[in-house]
Amino acid sequence: MSNQEVVYSTPRFLQSSSESQNRLRPGGTQMPEKSDDKEFSGPWHLISRTLGILCLLLLMTVIVLGTMIFQCTQEKHQQDEILQNLRQKYQNMQNDSYLKEQLLTNKTLEYGILKNKTIQRKKELALLLTEKNRCNTIKIFSTSLQNTDKLFEGCGMNCYYFTAESKTWTECKQICQNYGSSLLKIDDADERTFLQSKINRNMYWIGLSFNGGEKKWEWIDSGTSGLDLKIWNLSSGIGKCAFLSSTRLTDVDCTKTYNCICEKRIDCIVSGLIETKEERP
């Protein structure tokens, strides 16, 4: 074997036909070999991460939009409630305004009625004042005095009868009652002045006497009067009565005898009026 040559050979693996063709292709380029699994999976992993981030962003966007829509819905609901409350308040204000207008209308009507009544009363008062300043002689027929005609001096709404006979205060009181009237009650200074103008020299009992129980001077109807009695210096004492003359008003014992002045309102004697004859002084 010394003379034999030893031949060494390197084993070669069979290549695929494609590889052989690539190698054998003139001017061709050699195809790159496949990379391992890690290098080939890199782009897909990046895409997956990108898609995940996009999904997360989309989810967050949906959540934010949902939150904003919910808030807008809540705010709109609150605004609707506020608007409804404002409408209700406005309706209430309209109702109140209508009621106030009705009340004002009613008050205006009442004021008009009261104004008309006031005007009417003023006219009546003016008429009464006119009648008070106009005095006349009224002839009446009294059935309680044996068909005797009596003349009453009238002034304003009152009529007065001056008796010719002298009587005590108590008897004068009874005579006036028989005439359907009462002893004179003087209401004010104007009435006193008018009556004194009708008195000559006689003195007349009036309906004023001293009340021993109350210890004061009192008119026959226990009413009040505008006549100031203090200026006449009436003395106090049981059994004292007042009389009127042309110059004075004073007191004396009730058993004295004087003429009488009876008084009656015109509207009380109209039913017994037979004829009226006006005499202007």
E strand or H helix at 205:
strand 204-211
Residue 225 has pLDDT above 60, yes or no: yes
pLDDT at 244: 93
CATH number of the domain within which 197 lies: 3.10.100.10
pLDDT at 155: 63
pLDDT at 156: 59
Tell which of 74, 102, 132 closes a domain.
132
Instruction: Name the DSSP class of 13.
Output: P
Does 14 reside within a domain? no
Of the pLDDT bands very low, low, confident and very high (cuts 50, 70, 90), residue 184 is: very high
Q: Are residues 126 and 139 in the same domain?
A: no
For the segment 108-125, the average pLDDT, to the nearest whole number, is 86
Does 241 reside within a domain? yes
Q: Are residues 211 and 263 in the same domain?
A: yes
pLDDT at 235: 86
Q: Are residues 115 and 162 in the same domain?
A: no
Share above pLDDT 70 across residues of the chain, in percent, rounded to a whole number: 68
Q: Are residues 147 and 127 in the same domain?
A: no
Does 173 reside within a domain? yes
pLDDT at 153: 63
Q: Are residues 199 and 114 in the same domain?
A: no
Q: What is the C-alpha separation between 229 and 87, in angstroms, rounded?
A: 72
Q: Are residues 140 and 205 in the same domain?
A: yes
Q: Are residues 163 and 262 in the same domain?
A: yes
pLDDT at 267: 55
**DSSP-derived 3-state class of residue 55:** helix
Of the pLDDT bands very low, low, confident and very high (cuts 50, 70, 90), residue 233 is: confident
Q: Are residues 163 and 212 in the same domain?
A: yes
pLDDT at 22: 46
Of the pLDDT bands very low, low, confident and very high (cuts 50, 70, 90), residue 194 is: confident
Of the pLDDT bands very low, low, confident and very high (cuts 50, 70, 90), residue 170 is: very high
pLDDT at 82: 92
Q: Are residues 115 and 184 in the same domain?
A: no
Q: Are residues 199 and 250 in the same domain?
A: yes
Spatial CB neighbours of 192, under 8 Å, sequence gap ≥ 6: 186, 227, 244, 249
Q: What is the C-alpha separation between 123 and 102, in angstroms, rounded?
A: 31
Structural domains in the chain (count): 2
For the chain, give the mean pLDDT. 76
For the segment 127-146, the average pLDDT, to the nearest whole number, is 46
Within its chain, how far is the Cα of 79 from the centroid?
37
Q: Taking the model in full, what pTM does it have?
A: 0.46
- The CA distances from residue 146 to 143, 149, 165, 179, 273, in Å, are 6, 9, 17, 11, 16
Handedness of CA 257, 258, 260, 261 (dihedral sign): negative
29-69 pLDDT, tens digit each: 444 444 455 454 567 878 888 888 989 999 999 999 989 99
Does 219 reside within a domain? yes
- Which of 76-90, 124-138, 226-240 is predicted least confidently? 124-138
* 218, 209 contact by CB (below 8 A): yes
Structure tokens at 22: 């690539």
pLDDT at 139: 43
Per the structure, the complete domain to which residue 191 belongs is given by 135-277
Does 44 reside within a domain? no
For the segment 122-136, the average pLDDT, to the nearest whole number, is 61
Q: Are residues 254 and 123 in the same domain?
A: no
148-163 pLDDT, tens digit each: 344 566 665 678 888 8
Instruction: Identify which has the larger pLDDT, 26 or 58.
Output: 58
pLDDT at 214: 86
Does 205 reside within a domain? yes
